[in-house]
Structure 1
């Protein structure tokens, strides 16, 4: 059994740095660096990814908060009419993913770039970054599960429980290893993102059945399922479609003399 230990906050004068925020920031930094590095390895121009990053993060945080507020805990709307703007007060990782997807759709369309050219890059960058961010959930134990005597249970103050933050981080690290192994083997080229969608959606759908329902602050259920589980169904549909569809033809533009690619405008 894993001891219950909560990472402390860091006080810097009037500023309080929460451990969850530290892990999220580290995850974003890691994802951004891996996006650029993998784009360069695939002979793609990394500039659009660097330009996309602040939009993806910003819109991801905003939509992640709205999903948390409107779907998981709508009772919080009664706190204040400005609750929809308090992005630091509750965040859904699935909502953040949705926000990042929305930002990517509009950004790549505005730049007249094919997102499919960068799809593998996104899988190889976002998954490990998401895994690190999920360690923040484990650090503060904000996703308690049902009571259990499983050997990976965390000794919560009210008894041993599954810790979904730990489980989510663990499977994301496993998926990271698989994705990089496939990339190095040259397998499923152009299909890593839909593969990721299926793998993560199946694991998350099953994990959400382990979420606690006997505590004061629990996730909302709709017809017995969490909002994330409905999102998982959509992700599986996208992933299966992406794995079965034929890859469109076309190759990336040749590298410029400086060794980097010219951005398609």
Structure 2
């Protein structure tokens, strides 16, 4: 659903309870330094990707070692087979995430400079595109080695959520993907001209919803807690159920957070201040909401498929 327009003067009054963005937070883990002709730098966002992959690896190995959790008391793969599987997944995340960003949010790149699609280091990744890339990589790998696809999807769903948590925290550290202006006491005054441009009088700070933290809490922390509990409760014996809850949970969380997330600059315009990618006259949907609807449908379908399997023994 579309986001209701808020009166501009509602944001014009002082915000004594707003939270200033911590000035000690830097996007870089350590200050960049020169090593010969090369500048060495490590950003928290890159570290979040690396940590997310390592945590996912550890979770998968942990669950695979517990054979009793799986259908027929047999895990879909051996713990030592996680390494090549993760390699395929990483390729799917990067390729799908970058292509998804270009196709969904910046198709003009294909017309202006197609080779720019390969410049992943310039930024611009899409979660929904990354998810499609992961799904395709997992499907191809499962077919190649003869592993049960639904059980592998369940395994990947549990393992992926800590990475979502870390990624959204990194978005907050980078002071990017912030939310819409708010006068709520937990609003954050993000730095930068773009974050401070919300129609307020000069000298009055603009506080915004920390939508990155909302997503970290819902898509990362809460969803992981639910999926981990399901996995340890024997529900891996119903192939597709945990993956279905992941798709449904992420889709719903992202759809709701889009209501307070800043409109995508690619779609926002004077005649479209809410950044609707689909304008239905009086209300509309953002691109994030549009892409979340298939996830919700896929989640419900997987949950329905999982009901064909008997309930796990207590």
TM norm structure 1: 0.83
**Per-residue CA distance 1:47-76 (angstroms, 9 max, x = gap):** 333211111111211121111122112344
Question: C-alpha distance in 2, partners of 1:216/1:64?
Answer: 17
Aligned residues: 250
1:180: which partner in 2? 228
Question: C-alpha distance in 2, partners of 1:17/1:217?
Answer: 31
Alignment of 1:163 with 2:210, yes or no, is: yes
Alignment of 1:154 with 2:188, yes or no, is: yes
Q: Computing the radius of gyration over CA atoms, which structure comes out larger, 1 or 2?
A: 2
Question: C-alpha distance in 1, partners of 2:147/2:298?
Answer: 20
How far does residue 125 in structure 1 lie from its aligned partner after superposition?
Answer: 0.9
Give the secondary structure class of the aligned counterpart of 1:236.
helix
Check 1:226–1:176 CA distance in 2 against 1; reply closer, same or farther (3 A cut).
same
Give the secondary structure class of the aligned counterpart of 1:88.
helix
Check 1:207–1:178 CA distance in 2 against 1; reply closer, same or farther (3 A cut).
same
How far does residue 156 in structure 1 lie from its aligned partner after superposition?
Answer: 1.8
> Over the residues paired in the alignment, what is the CA RMSD in angstroms?
2.6
Alignment of 1:47 with 2:80, yes or no, is: yes
Among 77, 91, 101, the residue aligned to 1:58: 91
2:121: which partner in 1? 88
Give unmatched runs, 5+ long, in structure 1.
251-265
How far does residue 128 in structure 1 lie from its aligned partner after superposition?
Answer: 1.6
Question: C-alpha distance in 2, partners of 1:8/1:143?
Answer: 14
Alignment of 1:229 with 2:289, yes or no, is: yes
Question: C-alpha distance in 2, partners of 1:194/1:215?
Answer: 31
Give the secondary structure class of the aligned counterpart of 2:207.
strand
Partners of 2:158 and 2:227 within 8 A in 1 = yes
2:255: which partner in 1? 205
Question: C-alpha distance in 1, partners of 2:86/2:102?
Answer: 24
Among 184, 189, 192, the residue aligned to 2:242: 192
Among 18, 23, 32, the residue aligned to 2:43: 18
Give the secondary structure class of the aligned counterpart of 1:16.
strand
How far does residue 240 in structure 1 lie from its aligned partner after superposition?
Answer: 0.7
2:152: which partner in 1? 118
Partners of 1:68 and 1:92 within 8 A in 2 = yes
TM norm structure 2: 0.71
Question: C-alpha distance in 2, partners of 1:31/1:122?
Answer: 8
Give unmatched runs, 5+ long, in structure 2.
1-17, 68-73, 197-205, 269-273, 279-283
Check 1:214–1:186 CA distance in 2 against 1; reply closer, same or farther (3 A cut).
closer
